[in-house]
Chains A and B, each alone.
Chain A
Amino acid sequence: MANAIQFKVNGVTHSFDGDPDTPLLWYLRDTLSLTGTKFGCGVGLCGACTIHKNGDAIRACITPMSSLAGAEVRTIEDIGANGLHPVQKMWMQFNVPQCGYCQSGQIMQAIALLKSKPKPTDADIDEGMAANICRCGTYQRIRAAIKAAAQEPA
């Protein structure tokens, strides 16, 4: 394990000594059974696999394990683990999800957006959320939920 990569997932330290090109997505899903992070496209086009690395929203499907040394990774399973996050609350209040498959990624992206833009404009939301596809078409409710979450105390 001399060359193992050390990092944290949801506050727990892990080490990885497999193929360093392995995307974080499959490590989370197949190794740690953290299946809340979804596979949608595999090439960073849809955002279903959005997680936080050191607080930034990134695509786990194109994040190689080799890039994680010392990183703090946070997944949907940890968001609201001690009570729902305001974004999740608003997602429920506005009945955002339809099939729900993309929503882990949408929520992770929205949380990161609100961190950088606490009071996002429509343009901020367009820019911040455009990388996350929802095929059911819940965008209108996503927008409303983000605006409402922006009004909540963080």
Chain B
Amino acid sequence: MSAIENVSRRWFLKGLAGAGALVLGAYYAPEILWAQKSDDGRTDADNATLHPNVFVGIETDGTVWIVAHRSEMGTVIRTTLPLVVADELDADWKRVKIDQAIGDHRYGDQNTDGSHSVRSFFDVMRLSGATARVMLIQAAAQQWGVPVSECKTDVHAVVHSASGRRLGYGELASAASKLSVPKQDEVHLKSKSAWRYIGKGMTSYDLADLVTGKAVYGMDAQLDGMLFASIEHPPVLGGKIKWLDNTDALKVAGVSQTVVIDPFKPPPAFQPLGGVAVLANSTWAAFQGRKKLKIDWDNGPNATYDSDQYKKELQETARKPAKLVRGQGDVDKAFTPTASIFEADYYVPLLAHAPMEPMVALAEFKEGKVHAWAPTQNPQAVQAIVSSELGISKDDVICHVTFLGGGFGRKSKPDYVAEAAVLSHKVGRPVKVVWTREDDIQFDYYNAVAAMYMKAALDSSGKPTAWLQRSVFPPITSIFDVNAVYGDPPHLAQGWTDMPYDIPNLRIENGPAKAHVRIGWLRSVANIYHAFAVQTFTDELAHRAKRDPADYLLELIGQPRTIDFKGVEYPNYGASLDTYPWETGRLRRVTEMVIEKSGWGKRKLGKGSGLGIAAHRSFLTYVATVVEVEVNDQGDIRIPRVDCVVDAGLVVNPEVTKAQFEGAAVFGTSVARSGEITAKNGAIEQSNFDSYPVARINEAPYQTNVYLVDSDAPPAGVGEPGVPPFVPALCNAIYVATGKRIRELPLSRTNLGKES
């Protein structure tokens, strides 16, 4: 049925990997690729009468199935991408039903991470819907014996205006299914002015289920006969069991057995950490049994890891010359003994994700195949790790994606799903692995701890003539390569390589750091610490120059230009610099707008209050944020108001997008106030929301106003870009309110109160 019958899977994957390439492999993937799969993998869209591509299916009763191939963790992507299909199809949204895809390469990339779902699939979704529309029009024209050009679509129907005839999509589905699927160049897309849903948006398809407790998360997955498992992991990364006594654990009512899970073979990647699983007939029994395990651990080489000592090492490294990332001019020449020099050190600790739903997965190994039900951001990574752990084909790993109770990047890493599969394989029954909150906090893939050193030479007006910035952090690549110590280009690119100021003498460096815990992506990733250093340092320079920080920031951003990355490795979030150039004019514009919207310089603030500003581009989106803070004599902070201006290019679902930036302000509040993971003797010291607090309603910003710039630029990220500028804007506001400069996070490390 496909226009391109001989597309091999290999070609298809290669096509997907191409940077900026339209992911049409998925769209034209011939049926043979997945027809050999069991029925488990088929969606309702696949089974519908008219099924021109993997993302859409139309039934004879007019029901339109649209496949959501990305994971729903609160960004409402399960609605937003199907909405794009529905728009091009001219479908009535009320007659659309959404299928959640299993993990399957035929959809292209499914890693719901990096704020790129809309950007990477906007065109694919449009083509997908438009193809079905073209086929329906053809079918109607044939039936009426009129030229296609005389027919068009109305909502969920094809109409022939001249004769007033009209056929619904359901009536046309069967006839349309007999037509060949048109090639891409035969499919015309709607003009922007004809969009029904894109740019207007829609509330979550799942809204009613989300307020009635009906939405099924990974935590809620059940199978008949399943066992519940709780796993005692090695307290130190890479630890091994020396001695185990499970006698008392087995005496706990409901506990059926214990299973030793082998330690991972370095590097850890997404392998199970290892440890001892207690299996029982209820979650509670498994938890109780686990408490009765007696284990003596060989903690291995990471047992000497002490985060206080490690912090000193990072800070020392940050003060030493390191690897050049990007540079121009000659900073050393400018840093003369007589020059006006300002330097500062910044520090951000390890951070945990702590999504409300701890890691959990249900898996059943049966007849050589694994079915997994998991709250995962990356079902194809589930296929890969389960396949390698059990020595079965990836195609025999069927990963059903549930709702995710938060993800923030943690659930892109499927170690917990692999645990469930390994256990089910060993015990021959379905097994649901449930992590406690303590497990979640202590066995995370943490956002890297980072030390940054900043140095500037200033002219008589206080403007930098030379700028050195050096960051040191254990890289994410260390989970895949035990020898990795330098930041990899994609993560250096997050607010470091692309420091946007046009300074004649510039040197951007990165120093080495060895990891002693698993490091991983967390909402906004390296942008968090990089934006904190650059935007705080900027504010410090402004105050030193006795300049208004907003004016000064605008001056450093400079006049609109496109940053030239010639000779520099700058991956630009995997996007082409032609399509997504780094335009300082857009950063300038959001900054100017936030100055206006926040009433900067015009608002009357009380004693102990202050406004702070910061601007940052991440995930191809430009954001400027102004935070108002109040600090009382005891040092308690309150955040009455946040203003945030966002240029994310074309925004498909504006209301939902605003909610992402509101949430980012709260996430940033947690990072700034109390986000800190520490380790002693290699083991993580925090364990639950008492020792790793996150912002509560009385601590979160009271009012966050989000303004979206009306833009024709291609769509960019919205899930993550709100966090990076929020944190320095808050800290810059605290400086105004208290005179205390925050160079180290979290704020709980600094007494913000009046000294007695």
Contact = CB atoms under 8 A, between A and B. Distances in A.
B94 to A, nearest CB: 16
B689 A46 contact: yes
A135 B697 contact: no
Given A100-B74, A133-B696, 13 more contacts: A26-B282, A35-B213, A35-B219, A36-B212, A45-B437, A92-B207, A98-B659, A126-B698, A134-B666, A136-B356, A137-B664, A138-B659, A140-B662
A124 B532 CA distance: 34
Contact of B405 (A38, A42, A77): A38
B697 A125 contact: yes
A40 B665 contact: no
Contacts of B25: none
11 contacts: A75-B213, A77-B212, A77-B213, A80-B212, A95-B204, A98-B660, A99-B357, A99-B404, A101-B405, A130-B696, A140-B662
A134 B208 contact: no
A107 to B, nearest CB: 6
Interface string A120-147: 0010011101111111111111110000
A41 interface: yes
B212 A140 contact: no
A140 B700 contact: yes
Interface residues of B, number: 68
Interface residues of A, number: 60
A141 B658 CA distance: 11
Interface in B376-430: 403-408
B45 to A, nearest CB: 24
Interface in A76-109: 76-77, 79-80, 84, 88, 91-92, 95-104, 107
Contacts of B213: 35-37, 75-77, 104
Contact of B211 (A18, A30, A45, A107): A107
Interface stretch (B231-239, B336-344, B701-709): B701-709
Q: Which of A37, A38, A41, A95 has the most CB of B within 10 A?
A: A41
B637 interface: no
7 nearest A-B residue pairs (beta carbon):
A36-B213, A137-B666, A101-B405, A98-B74, A99-B74, A76-B213, A100-B210
B75 interface: yes
Interface of B: 72-76, 203-204, 206-217, 219-220, 222, 228, 253, 282-284, 287-288, 354-358, 403-408, 434, 436-437, 655-656, 659-660, 662-667, 669-670, 688-690, 694-698, 700-704
Contacts of B222: 33, 35
Q: Which of B211, B216, B405, B663 has the most CB of A within 10 A?
A: B211
A43 interface: yes
Contact of B697 (A23, A100, A132, A136): A132
B703 A140 contact: yes
Given A98-B663, A99-B403, A135 B212 contact: no
A39 B358 contact: yes
A30 B655 CA distance: 37
Given A100-B74, A101-B357, A130 B698 contact: yes
Contacts of B662: 137-138, 140-141
A45 B354 CA distance: 13
B267 to A, nearest CB: 29
A137 B700 contact: yes
